Amino acid sequence: MKSPRRFVSALLGTLTLTAGLLVVTTPPVSAADITGPTSWNFEDGTQQGWTAQPGSHFGPLITDRVYYHNNPDQKWNKEGTYFLSTEEDPQGNYNDSYTGVLDSPSFTLTRPDITLLVNGGNLPQTYLAACLPDATATNGCRVLAKTQGTDAEPFLYRTLDLSAYLGQSLFLQLVDESTGGWGHLTIDDVRVNYPSVPTGVTADRSGAAVSLRWSAVPEAGLTGYDVYRSLNETSGYTRITTQPTTATSYTDRSAAPSTGYFYRVVSVFADGSQGEGPNTAYAGPYQDPFARGSTVTYTGDQLSGIEFPVGPLGAGGILHFGDGTRNESWIFNHDDTFRDRHTGTVPNSFFAVRAVTDKGQLVVRALQTSGEGAFPGMRDLSFQGEYPMAHYRFDDSALPVQVSEDVTNPTLPGNLKDSAIPTAIYTFTLKNPTKQPMVVSLMATQQNAVGFDGVGTIGGPTNDSNAGFVNNANALSLGAQQGRLLMSGTPDSYGNSAAVDPDPTGPKLALTMLGPNVTGTASWSGLDKLYADFSDDGAASGPANATSPSTGTTVDGALSTSLRLKPGAEVKIPVVLNWNFPANPVRNFGGEGEQYTNWWPNAASVDAYTVAHLPFLLQQTQQFHDSVYHSNLPQYVLDRLTSGIAVLHTPSVFWARNGFFGGWEGYGCCWGMPNHVWEYAQTASALWPQVGQLWVQQWLDAEKPDGLLPYRYDTGTDSYGAAFDGQAGVILSAYRTYEQTGDTAWLKRYWSKIEGAMDYLVTANDPDRDGILTGAQYTTLDSSESGTGSWLGSLYLAAVNATAQLAQLAGDGAADTRYRTLYDTGRANQEKLLWNGDYYEEKPQNLPGTVAYGPGSDIDMLLGQWWSTQLGLGDIYDSGHLDTAARNLFANNFQTSFVGGPPDGRDYVEPTDAGMKNTTWPRGGKPANPLLYNDETWTGTEYSSAALMIQRGDVADGLRVVQAAADRYDGRLRDDLALGGCAAGDGAGNPFGDVECGQWYSRSMSGWSVLTALQGFTYNGASHDLGFAPQWRPDDHVSFFTAGTSYGTLSQRVNGANQTDTVQVSTGSLRLDRVQLAVGSHGVRQIRVSVDHHPVDAHWSATAGGLSVELPATTVRAGTTLSITVTLAH
């Protein structure tokens, strides 16, 4: 489709640069206005007739700048090459001190709309206006309509409706009288007298049908709309309407389900003109959100973003990349700042394979696609990852043996010690697919990096030189079925290593290979020599002991095994890499040293423990994986659930030797484990309730005398105030801890602090105890709100209700009564105040310095209800209204694509991605002081909102939200987004690390709530009560669950008149006194209960929509199954 012609005014001013300021001399203006279609796109590098009024002080107004100032890694989404900006100085830097007024040439308005690209400041004196000439008005402009920026850099498409002024002589005026931050405006592609363009074009997909909608064009003479389609956003459009449609919707039924399409809608007028603008919509390939799917295999470009962390719970481990290489820099614990994925790599550390057939064919390859010196890399590989298990499959037609590599860290829910081993366990599978025998050898080589800080570079001719290497030594020991290399040296002197290291001279690294005929060397020098040695006979050979030849140089060791494989034979070779670096010098406000040193003083002890327990550790990790993935939930849901576990094996967290378990917001940014972010995280406490309990204790132990919980931990020099949402989240987390552990003694010990934290919120923001919040409330959006909205209001009421419940359990009847009264009062008052007929909103006070969302649809509008449902605390507001609000949250905030303009903030989505915006204003009324980050897309809030939708029965929409997030983390490195420590780091797209303000962002652990929402699962370890009301496939449901320190599988199947629910425990033991089930609209005739087919004498009673089964103190142990068969009354 051809674009409309662009008309450029010939009225060009004379440009003179004086003392760094651009002085614009206004030429005589013709008495005749412009009457035809006119576009000011500045593509000739001039102002195209726009002139500055006397007294203006601008820098160079026309710029061809390519990248944003604030996000220099992102390209400006301009129309062509040039645009107009009031912030550029002559050196190309930004300068908000420039001020002035700039007028366009005058024109006679013949079409009702003016369109443009605009952004920059949102200040009162920074705007672009459509004007009637008026000498008595400010700057000679009687303002008819105006637009301005949003305190962001990306251009946004804006339309000014001037239909009331047709036939009049007008001009445009850019005003920039602001000198503070965002004191500038940028404009591009300003169009006057063009036909009106359809706006608000959306495309939504369902199988082979794409439903398009748009806003009506009000201009006279409209005959209809044509729809165009293309595979490319900028060209190749073909009309798919046979004649203009008069409707504002169209269904494309010819779309191939597996193909994504771009659409444009063009208005057609009786005079033959057409209105076309940047109103593109995109419909991606169709994916059924209910399909089970299968294990994802990453290949090609989808390997570029893979970063799979392997290591102990509570510390950074080893990153494994999509090309088969790894980065060990995190194990040295220098974790104060973000580092890109390849910084601090330990060289000379890789795996290789050698195969020789009886016919003499010899091939040697490094087990990665990049070569290592003389070792050629594999031709290709594929990767599969279902955390905590990763699988590489190598492909090289020249290699006669089939090779795959599995890598994992022990992950045993409920078992802290065995989940916190500083180890990476590799298992290599070697298979002979040929019809002739062959000899296959596997080699593992590892550099002794003791003394390296993981931040700098190891260099030199043989990649073994760094100033930190002092007295490094390797010791080789060989046994009948294994070989081991112990690596010691002088540890890096950072931190307080002498005080926290239980064995300063002991080994810090250990490499063990398990297999027949293991050989090795404590030292090799040069990759060429190592290659020659290994390729010669498949055996690494050399001295049993080696030390650094000089300070600043280290030694490299290697292990190998060889065996003869018959045709069709297969063998598995485990290799274990262990480490022990006790110091953690930077983030030690909770205590110094690593937790794992309490169990293992050095790498030799780690190695001995891991090798001795290897079968158990691998079996238990495999069992956990299989219990999760043998569910019938969609694959993408399971992958997003387990990806959150990876956060706990990165520098986003740290578990100190004294037991303090801390964290940052994400890897690379934002210290002090802020409770306003971490209150979203559910994964860790579900799998290891002990960790969740530690977090709550640590927050409560930091409580001030007045009940204030510092939203970040104090370091001794810093002092933080309260975050309203974070403090409420701590109270709710305390209730969660009590439910998971059933620890009444713990509750009574911490009850006074829980009560104090709740009283603080009441006193500060609800002193009249009517449930309506007042005053400023600091939040996770790095700003304060004021007044009452359902986001903070529902969180407040959920915390009040939880406090009342805990008061009763702690035996404090007065507090119980006090808080129950407040909860009941607040529910009624907030319902009346905040429900607008479609969703819950905010009634802000707009105190100075605060932000607001007012009538907006906020992604967290019902965050308190999300919490309340998980904890089994019931509905806060009217149940029907909650259901409606959840549906409308999806309708208002979910974007099927972001084509048409990037967000006003950090860009975490590509144009063809789908996702949820944090806040939208479907009813208009966006405040002048909107929430920060309102236009951004965060998986942490997407998961919680998706879970809310599913909790309310809107399963399809909730799954679409999760599916959209999964599609954005598809393995392809996305380095065209917002980069840097407080953004996407060096790129997003890693399926094992969601980003927000940093990589492996802690808020993303809200994803676990999607599982419990799909299950309708609740658990109370104090009352031994389990609830199971599946939203996902209630007639045939299978999913993973955790309850306290046990886990297993839940299932529900309906066969005719019988509904059978089972609780199968895989690990631990689970006492159950009551099971609550849903039976839909059916009644119940009878039930039968058994444990492993042994009948149990149970009693039942009907509940709303289900039944409650009372059990006689039943314990379901590992390997056994509780079964409840309900005969339904149809």
Domain closes at, from 987, 1011, 1035: 1011
Would the pLDDT of 974 be above 60? yes
Q: Is residue 481 part of a domain?
A: no
| Helix%, strand%, coil% for the chain, nearest 5 | 20, 30, 45
Residue with tokens 């004649």: 243
Q: Print the domain residue range for 1045.
A: 1016-1129
Write the CATH number for 924: 1.50.10.10
Q: Are 1042 and 687 in contact (CB under 8 A)?
A: yes
Q: Is residue 634 part of a domain?
A: no
Which residue stretches of 742-783 are H helix? 744-765
Pairing label, strands 281-283, 261-269: antiparallel
Q: Are 76 and 63 in contact (CB under 8 A)?
A: no
SS3 at position 990: coil
Do 991 and 868 reside in the same domain of the chain?
yes
User: Per-residue DSSP letters for 305-373?
Assistant: T-EEEES-TTS--EEEETTS-EE-GGGG---SS---TTTT--SS-EEEEEEEETT--EEEEESSSS-BT
Consecutive H or E run containing 1012: helix 1008-1015
Whole-angstrom distance, CA of residue 982 vs CA of residue 36: 48
Q: Is residue 467 part of a domain?
A: no
Write the CATH number for 493: 2.70.98
What mean pLDDT is predicted for residues 367-392?
98
Do 586 and 679 reside in the same domain of the chain?
no
Please calculate the CA angle 418-422-427 and round it to the nearest 5 degrees.
Answer: 85
Tokens matching residue 81 = 């090459």
SS3 at position 794: helix
Do 64 and 135 reside in the same domain of the chain?
yes
Would the pLDDT of 16 be above 80? no
Give the contacts of 594 (CB within 8 A, at least 6 positions apart): 314, 315, 333, 422, 500, 580, 581, 582, 583, 584, 654, 655, 656, 657
Do 867 and 842 reside in the same domain of the chain?
yes
Would the pLDDT of 897 be above 80? yes
What mean pLDDT is predicted for residues 754-760?
99
pLDDT per residue over 439-490, tens digit each? 999 999 999 999 999 999 999 999 999 999 999 999 999 998 999 999 999 8
What mean pLDDT is predicted for residues 510-538?
97
Domain closes at, from 1011, 1043, 1078: 1011
Would the pLDDT of 23 be above 50? no
Q: Please give the mean pLDDT across all residues of the chain.
A: 94
Pairing label, strands 107-108, 185-192: unpaired
Pairing label, strands 1069-1078, 1025-1028: parallel
Residue 157 pairs in a beta bridge with 117
Q: Is residue 24 part of a domain?
A: yes
Q: Is residue 1050 part of a domain?
A: yes
Do 308 and 375 reside in the same domain of the chain?
yes
pLDDT band at 714 (very low <50, low <70, confident <90, very high): low
Would the pLDDT of 973 be above 60? yes
Residue 1025 pairs in a beta bridge with 1020, 1074
pLDDT band at 761 (very low <50, low <70, confident <90, very high): very high
Least confident range from 509-518, 591-600, 877-886, 1024-1033: namely 591-600
Write the CATH number for 76: 2.60.120.200
**pLDDT of 585:** 62
**pLDDT of 501:** 87
pLDDT band at 718 (very low <50, low <70, confident <90, very high): low
**pLDDT of 715:** 60
Task: Report how many domains make up the chain.
Answer: 5
Q: Is residue 1110 part of a domain?
A: yes
Domain closes at, from 166, 192, 218: 192
Do 393 and 352 reside in the same domain of the chain?
yes
Q: Is residue 465 part of a domain?
A: no
Do 725 and 751 reside in the same domain of the chain?
yes
Do 102 and 207 reside in the same domain of the chain?
no
Q: Is residue 646 part of a domain?
A: no
Do 962 and 1031 reside in the same domain of the chain?
no
Least confident range from 108-117, 272-281, 427-436, 930-939: namely 272-281
Do 224 and 346 reside in the same domain of the chain?
no
Do 360 and 416 reside in the same domain of the chain?
yes
Whole-angstrom distance, CA of residue 909 vs CA of residue 549: 51
Do 982 and 1078 reside in the same domain of the chain?
no
**pLDDT of 493:** 66
Whole-angstrom distance, CA of residue 855 vs CA of residue 924: 7
